[in-house]
Amino acid sequence: MSVSAFNARGVWAIYKFEMHRFKRTLWTGLAVPVITTSLYFVVFGSAIGSRMTAIDGVSYGAFIVPGLMMLSLFTESIFNASFGIHMPRFTGTIYELLSAPLSAFETVLGYVGAAATKSTIVALVILATAHLFVDIRILHPIFMIAFLLLIAATFCLFGFIVGIWAKGFEQLQVIPLLIVTPLTFLGGSFYSIDMLPEPWRTITLFNPIVYLINGFRWTFYGTADVAVGTSLAATLAFFFICLGVVAWIFRTGYRLKS
């Protein structure tokens, strides 16, 4: 498709519609992460953090900030993207969408772009809230934003796949609650995996969330349990896998037309 044929108006229509749904629950959507983050710092930062020594020269309260951001980013990205595409399937308006003069790329761009915007806003709100409790320094701010957007886009693509796969609203919660959240807690969100004895440390390295969290933490403090190049490669690999699956869905019509 040529650049001149790009349907920017169609993409903007999807994006605007999805963002309008976010605005309707704006205060609730932002209040929840603020309250949750505050509670994490009361429990982990004050009760537990005061008993722990610095990790790689970083106070425990500051150390858990990237993990908190990633925990919310994962769940928000998956939920927003999956719910956004599942609703048209549930109401039957998916057929109007498929018959519209929009390519698969334009459709995905609208939905994933809106979902990524929402989850990124929530992550930045968590960062601002955390700054009220601990002193946070970001050594590589440009890389931090780039990594944040890449991970948001990746998990929004993953959420888009979940929204197509799910046959009901109950299934939308299965992967985020039973798979992604446990892997995030076990992926070094609130501790360094170097604290783990063998063989648990080696086993933890098979958790893909470890690489995403450590790559993001490196942008803050310049230190991580996994090399930043490895983290970036793992994130990009997950991104392109999700992109390939989405392309396959539109090529085959998997659960889009039935």
> Contact 133/47 with Cβ under 8 angstroms?
no
Is 84 a member of any domain?
Answer: yes
Closest CA to 220 of 78, 70, 37: 70
- List, for residues 204-244, the tens digit of each pLDDT value: 999 999 999 999 999 999 999 999 999 999 999 999 999 99
CA 138 to CA 66: how far, in whole Å?
10
* Structural domains counted in the chain: 1
- List, for residues 74-125, the tens digit of each pLDDT value: 999 999 999 999 999 888 888 888 888 899 999 999 999 999 999 999 999 9
Is 258 a member of any domain?
Answer: no
What global pTM score does this model have? 0.91
Is 142 a member of any domain?
Answer: yes
Q: Give the single-character DSSP code of 199.
A: T
CA 149 to CA 153: how far, in whole Å?
6
Is 257 a member of any domain?
Answer: no
Is 40 a member of any domain?
Answer: yes
Maximum distance among all alpha carbons in the chain?
60
Query: Which structural domain, as residue segments, surrounds residue 163?
Result: 3-252
CA 205 to CA 207: how far, in whole Å?
5
